[in-house]
Amino acid sequence: MGTGHAHVLYRESASPVHRLAPEVKITAMVLFTVIVVATPRTAYWAFGGYALLVAAVAALARVGPGWLLSRALIELPFVLFAFALPFLGTGERVEVAGLSLSVDGLHGAWNILAKGTLGVLASLLLAATTTTRDLIVGLDRLRCPQILTQIATFMLRYLDVLVGEARRMRVARVSRGDDPRFLWQLRGFAAGVGALFLRAFERGERVYLAMVSRGYTGRMPAVWQGTGAATAGQWAAAATVPLVAATIAAVAVALT
């Protein structure tokens, strides 16, 4: 897998968040997201507290707000759906700027927008501070099913190989007069995809047989995980965010 094997969202830094073991960051992110989702949608102040928590972690991780907000645009389809709910909702309605809007629709839109945005931002912070390899190592240490971690490991290991193979095949087609912009050449493109699949399958079979001949038993050796498993101090530091979020949620439930 290599020592780094970073993905496009990873931002290299020496921040305290980057130095945490991956398993504690994954656990903290999942717990934070669950707590946010469980918070009553009418506890508006609570979501402000969650946003402050995210901002504090981003500052500690040295991840700028501009970077976070630009990558958060991935949730734009859900935002558009949320804005449509007040117009499509039924039940009690209220006049806002001359528009008749559904009260339940407004609450639903706020629920999707607030919780979805906080979940996306938390996931982006995890991705920005953890390499792909460390994410898989963290999942393995958390006893994620081996079949999932192994598939992800091999997919990431050979993704660049397949992308390079596809690029070379495209260059070969173009050099022979193929132009994928025209619809009547889709047949050639489809044939190329089929050939790429066969090459990938055969390569995977060869790699698997080579690994079995070298003692592979279905689980990566312990040395692959490396050192640096989470310490008690790291677990305590990472637990700060979900504990504060749980406190906010408990108060929100009590006041609702």
Per-residue CA distances from 100 to 73, 90, 95 (Å): 28, 11, 5
Residue 199 has pLDDT above 90, yes or no: no
Kindly state the tokens that stand for 159: 């993704």
Out of 28-42, 53-67, 78-92, 211-225, pick the least confident: 211-225
Identify which has the larger pLDDT, 176 or 139: 139
What residue spans define the domains of the chain?
16-138+230-255, 146-224
Q: What is the mean pLDDT of residues 194-199?
A: 78
Q: What type of residue sits at position 246?
A: A
> Is 45:37 a contact under the CB 8 Å cutoff?
no
Share of the chain above pLDDT 70, in %: 88
Q: What is the mean pLDDT of residues 201-215?
A: 81
Torsion of CA 97, 103, 107, 112, to 10 degrees: -80
Residue 185 has pLDDT above 50, yes or no: yes
CB neighbours of residue 170 within 10 Å: 14
Backbone angles phi, psi at 131, to 5 degrees: -70, 165
Q: What is the mean pLDDT of residues 104-110?
A: 85
Residue 58 has pLDDT above 70, yes or no: yes
Q: What is the pLDDT of residues 5-33, one digit of tens each?
A: 555 788 888 899 999 999 999 999 999 99
